[in-house]
Chains A and B, each alone.
Chain A
Amino acid sequence: MQWPEAMVYSGANMRPVSSWGRLGAEPHDVVELTDRAAVAGAVTGRTGIAHGLGRSYGDACLNPGGLLWRTAGLDRLISFDATTGRLVCEAGVVLRDISRLMIPRGWNLAVVPGTQWVTVGGAIANDVHGKNHHVVGTFGEHVRRLRLARTTGETIDCGPDERPELFKATIGGLGLTGLIIEVELQLRPTGGPWLDAETVPFSGLPDFFALSDESEAAWEHTVSWIDCTSGSVRGLFMRARPSDRSGRPWRDRMRRVPLTPPVSMVNGLSLKPFNALYYALGRRKSGVQVVHYERFLFPLDSVLEWNRLYGPNGFYQYQSVVPRAAALEATRDMLTAIARSGEGSFLAVLKTFAERPAAGLLSFPRGGVTLALDFRNSRTLPALFSRLDDIVRGAGGRLYPAKDARMPREFYQATYPDLGAFTARRDPGMSSGMSRRLMGF
């Protein structure tokens, strides 16, 4: 008997899609990609953007009213060489799955961002960084080859030594050079899942810089949380490095924010007590402890859908990087501007970036200091953001597109000088809310 062909799903699948900031839920024509052999056919002659797990905060992964190719179904591993640590996989594979599978075999991803819930393709398109940027750089530095499906009908392989211009445009290229089908990654040897982690309270930015300088040689991971509600700058400097010891048996206990509260849980009433409590708890954790890498690197991943806490109007992230020379003053000015605005951030994160050549034409990281802040969506934000923009620009810095939903086009174009070279390599059919807003195509 002839088995009837399965339904073909494409077109007319309009459904609301949000990114992580939950600022809106515009309808998108969503095409689910599950078969890597069918990707080229699905994108040829069409206009849209790839969407992995939707963990970028703004419109980098959105195309309101238009086509979205969802890549989460392209999640197969293709080959792995256990002697060289080379992994070939489809672009929708989730970083968590690679780490969990490979760490017992002595290998891991060199770079992981603050959440494991991102796809390999998304990690490349945003050239993500982690808490070990000063040691290994960005995700794109560990990509050996990738395969792109272009809307022109071509399927192109590129890498550091093969069509390097297209490769550099694709790393950090926000999905605009074509849809990444598969990737070859160089993994990094690892001794296991355990880290020796230490939390050091500090007060004042000079203290932070001193701790950073002192820690970077001997600690693979560094990051700081700061309390931006207390008036003075106080925070917790967290550093970790691979451990020879094993911690207590670790269980992955996931909680989920079960619903979206009618108003933001992050507000004037909750911010100060939360920050004070977090600081007090952090202070108690002094001394070196053995912790599982997932707990240290992805503390928010244990609360699924934490972005709902910001209520139905969503939230903005503001992540900047400024050169080291201007960092002290710029960071202080930003924190003052925030305190003055009456808004506050639940999770202000401060981290140093090393000085190293960028992997991609549009990669965000550069040597200096990066500050990430999140704000519930409110009417006072545009004025605050424009003040923060002035400070960042004045300091010679720029913003992270993966986190952005609002920066002015002129600011973007002035601070990403390789945009012209990038534009020459782009796929004319790839277009997102962000590309139209910031680049004009």
Chain B
Amino acid sequence: MKIVVIGATSGIAEHCCRIWAVEGADFVLMARDTAKLERIAADLEVRGARSVSLAVAAFHDPAAIKAFADATIAAGPVDILLIAHGWMPLEQHTLDIATAAQVLEVNAVSPVLFAEAFAGPFAAAGRGTIAIIGSVAGDVTRRANYLYGASKALLTRYAQGLDHRLVGSGVKVVLIKPGPTDTAMTTHMKAAGQRLASAEDVARTTVDAIRLGKVEVYAPRLWRYIMLIVRHMPRPILNRLPI
């Protein structure tokens, strides 16, 4: 089983890899922080990964993303592409316009380009799963993280369209929507006393969803119902919620 992970140092992605490593997977990992990525690679090898190779980080250059996808697939068939990178600055209503652009680049444009680069070759091969880490913030978002939430909303709609494109091709599209999860991204939430899902639990749900080829899954699953309610809240009520 060959698995390509973009943003492999993200907490959820790392825990997914730990599960796959025990099953003896081959990995291609990409992340910005090379030193951290090397530590993760060693960890996965101890856990049972058959091979781990590290890709040069190239998150924003469309040509580089395309070249990476082509080279990776040329080296052998890929079973799973997990797109997990993300960045959630605090207090997004206070960001300057350049930083706002970066939030959209990192969380929306870049993930879509990776999925696009692999979708064609996957369809040609008639196999593969494209898994994207979205967020419950893509369903309803709030002032402190609405640029992040809007990016995740784009991923939600993109995944739906990609799934439509790939019907009958043998390629599966899986969108995971985690609630707040205990990772480096949410340290401030923990400081505020919020209860967070463990990255290990969210990863377990993610790996199961990928194995079963579920189109959309919330993690923990309870969030499906929470978001169902929140999505249908009248605006005057929603805007008064202390969230």
Q: Footprint of B on A, CB under 8 Å? A: 1, 3-4, 6-7, 9, 13-16, 30, 32, 34-37, 73, 76-80, 87, 89, 101
Contact = CB atoms under 8 A, between A and B. Distances in A.
Nearest to B101: A1
B223 to A, nearest CB: 18
Interface stretch (B35-43, B117-125, B164-172): B35-43
B43 A77 contact: yes
B32 interface: yes
Contacts of B53: none
A405 B59 CA distance: 51
Contacts of B102: 1, 3-4
17 contacts: A6-B184, A9-B187, A9-B188, A13-B191, A15-B193, A30-B190, A30-B191, A34-B184, A35-B35, A36-B39, A76-B39, A77-B42, A77-B46, A77-B47, A80-B46, A87-B46, A101-B22
Contacts of B40: 76
B87 A79 contact: no
B43 A76 contact: yes
B43 A78 contact: yes
B99 interface: yes
A35 B191 contact: no
Contacts of A89: 46
A1 B113 CA distance: 15
A399 to B, nearest CB: 33
A112 B44 CA distance: 24
Contacts of B99: 4
A104 to B, nearest CB: 9
A335 to B, nearest CB: 40
Interface in B160-208: 184, 187-188, 190-193
B106 interface: yes
A37 B40 CA distance: 13
Nearest to B105: A1
Interface string B30-72: 0010011001101100111000000000011000000000000
Given A77-B42, A101-B22, A37 B47 contact: no
A34 B106 CA distance: 22
Contacts of A1: 60, 102, 105
A3 B59 contact: yes
Interface string B140-171: 00000000000000000000000000000000
A1 B36 CA distance: 21
Which of B22, B32, B191 has the most C-beta atoms of chain A within 10 angstroms of its own C-beta? B191
B90 interface: yes
Given A77-B42, A78-B42, A3 B191 contact: no
A14 B22 CA distance: 37
B59 A15 contact: no
Contacts of B190: 15, 30
Given A6-B87, A14-B191, A16-B193, A79 B46 contact: yes
A94 to B, nearest CB: 10
Nearest to B36: A35
Contacts of A15: 190-193
Nearest to A15: B191
B89 interface: yes
Contacts of A6: 87, 184
A184 B83 CA distance: 34
Contacts of A36: 39
Given A14-B191, A80-B46, A101-B47, A4 B36 contact: no
Interface string B192-228: 1100000000000000000000000000000000000
Contacts of A87: 46
Contacts of B87: 3-4, 6
B74 to A, nearest CB: 27
Contacts of B188: 7, 9, 13
Contact of A3 (B32, B46, B187, B192): B32
A67 to B, nearest CB: 14
Enumerate the 6 nearest inter-chain pairs by beta-carbon distance, A residue then B residue, closest first. Answer: A77-B46, A76-B43, A13-B191, A9-B187, A80-B46, A77-B43
A6 B47 CA distance: 28
A97 to B, nearest CB: 8
Contacts of B187: 9, 13, 32
Contacts of B22: 101
B8 to A, nearest CB: 13
Given A3-B60, A35-B36, 8 more contacts: A1-B105, A3-B59, A7-B188, A13-B191, A15-B191, A32-B184, A76-B42, A78-B43
B66 to A, nearest CB: 17
A1 B191 CA distance: 31
B9 to A, nearest CB: 9
A13 to B, nearest CB: 4
B42 A79 contact: yes
A35 B11 CA distance: 12
A35 B42 CA distance: 14
A399 B192 CA distance: 36
A32 B190 CA distance: 11
A110 to B, nearest CB: 19
Contact of A4 (B39, B89, B192, B193): B89
A16 B43 CA distance: 32
Contacts of A13: 187-188, 191
Contact of B46 (A9, A16, A30, A78): A78
A339 to B, nearest CB: 40
Contacts of B191: 13-15, 30
Nearest to A25: B193
A252 to B, nearest CB: 12
B123 to A, nearest CB: 29
Contact of A7 (B89, B105, B193): B89
A266 to B, nearest CB: 25
A15 B188 CA distance: 10
A79 B59 CA distance: 30
Nearest to B85: A3
A124 B188 CA distance: 30
Nearest to A79: B46
